[in-house]
Amino acid sequence: MIRIFFLGGLMALMSCGNPQRQDTAHAQKGDTTATNTNTLLADTNVFKDTIDGKAVRLYTIRNASGITASITNYGGRLVSLLVPDSAGKLTDVIVGPGSLKDYEASTEPYFGASIGRVGNRIAKGTFTLDGKTYHIFTNNGINTLHGGKKGFQYVVWDAAQPNDSTLQLSYNSPDGEENFPGNLAVKITFTLKGDRSLNLEYEAKTDKRTPVNLTNHGFFNLNGAGSGTIDRHILQIDADRYTPIDSSLIPFGRLDKVAGTPFDFRTPTTIGSRINEKNEQLAFGKGYDHNYVLNKPAPGAYSHAAKVVGDKSGIVMDIYTTEPGLQFYSGNFMLGANLLKHGLKDDHRTAIALETQHFPDAVNQPAFPSIILEPGKVYQTHSAYVFSVKK
């Protein structure tokens, strides 16, 4: 699964430089871009609090290419991402709550969150490593999802902002947290680059062998929050195969071809065109909630994974990653139960998640690429969301 969300409000706080003063100067010169940006960004005051004895804040990064992102260190969450549409109008393509209070109250815990230690599902919350069996809290029916009862989405990360376009978040997960072995030091770097890309670089080190599968659970609507469902978004995924699942959404362990199935997005296809077909896999996920096996030129290669086009905005999002898999979630469990930015609700299929990651339940599936991190080794992955407009 996956999910990401955004806000409306006042100016954003920067820990480096003085971007608020720059925006004011630009606005005085008749440049309306800064004014529009500040109108769409979250109010930093509604993210100020203390949780578990640590300060929660909202940070903003931006660059000259016209993209601005807001991230809170509560859960390492992507709160908003402002991107110019085909008419040059800034659009917040992240769907989610508009305040810390609303994130805490949400029945959906993963809006825009950094996910770990192990993203996606672990069958029955159990795995065996080096002869020892570990039991992780089951929070998704009979299975564990996205790290257990208190995954990284509830952590207050340490934040550092070395420049206006970069935010670094770090967290030391102690040995035994959520019953996972080893002390795990994690760092996530969010960077906006001049090619209109949001880059997420993950790094982790451990002192014991332990499973690690980090990702981000952003919820996207490229037409902007409140614009309706994502059914007419056009999606293309560079994958000839996917991992079919059982009724509890755990992979069987095999890799099936997408050809001749509703899961074939090798050519650009509207998301809603086949989502309601009579198909056992779609019935299990109540739509798309499946891992795609990405076509890679070599294991670990940084390569294109997917392309999404907003049918109304003309915004194009290309995804690149070093990861072997992409979890495509079509917002099937969004039930209008949570308050989002601008007074909206998380209505059915009004956002999608495209999570770059290793395969679900890889810790129990010997045929899948391993997610075991060894002491002395460094876990490193890189994913990027590159924005343009439809020609």
Expressed as residue numbers, the domain containing 47 is 1-227+325-391
- Of 220, 215, 207, 162, the residue nearest 180 (C-alpha): 207
Given a contact cutoff of 8 angstroms between Cβ atoms, the answer to whether 253 and 215 are in contact is no
Q: What is the pLDDT of residues 256-276, one digit of tens each?
A: 999 999 999 999 999 999 999
Beta pairing partners, 47: none
CA distances (Å), origin 315, targets 24, 38, 285, 386? 27, 20, 27, 10
- The answer to whether position 302 is within a domain reads no
Q: Is residue 234 part of a domain?
A: no
End-to-end, the C-alpha distance of the chain in Å comes to: 31
* 86 within some domain: yes
Mean pLDDT of 186-198: 97
Domain count, the chain: 1
Reduced DSSP (H G I as helix, E B as strand, rest coil) percent helix, strand, coil of the chain, to 5: 15, 40, 50
* 13 lies in some domain: yes
pLDDT in tens, 89-108: 999 999 999 999 999 999 99
In a domain, 200, yes or no: yes
247 occurs within a structural domain? no
Clarify whether 217 is annotated catalytic. yes
From the candidates 108, 178, 323, 355, give the one annotated as an active-site residue.
355
User: What local confidence, expressed as pLDDT, does residue 391 receive?
Assistant: 85
Residue 224 makes CB contacts below 8 A (sequence gap 6+) with 91, 92, 93, 313
Q: What global pTM score does this model have?
A: 0.90
* Residue 27 pLDDT level (bands cut at 50, 70, 90): very low
The CATH number of whichever domain residue 149 belongs to comes to 2.70.98.10
351-377 confidence digits (pLDDT tens): 999 999 999 999 999 999 999 999 999
Q: Write the pLDDT tens digit of every residue in 41-58.
A: 888 999 999 999 999 999
> Does residue 279 register a pLDDT over 70?
yes
Question: Considering 108, 146, 177, 217, which one is annotated as catalytic?
Answer: 217
Q: Are 323 and 257 in contact (CB under 8 A)?
A: no
CA distance 202 to 200: 7
- Chain centre distance of CA 154: 15
Q: Report the share of the chain in percent with pLDDT over 90.
A: 87
CA distance 190 to 61: 9
* CA gap 361, 356 in Å, rounded: 15
> What's the whole-number mean pLDDT along residues 329-345?
96
Query: Which residue in this structure is represented by tokens 């959404």?
Result: 249
Tell me if 199 is assigned to some domain.
yes
The answer to whether residue 259 sits within a structural domain is no
Q: What is the mean pLDDT of the chain?
A: 91
pLDDT score at 34: 52
| pLDDT category of residue 349 using cuts at 50, 70 and 90 | very high
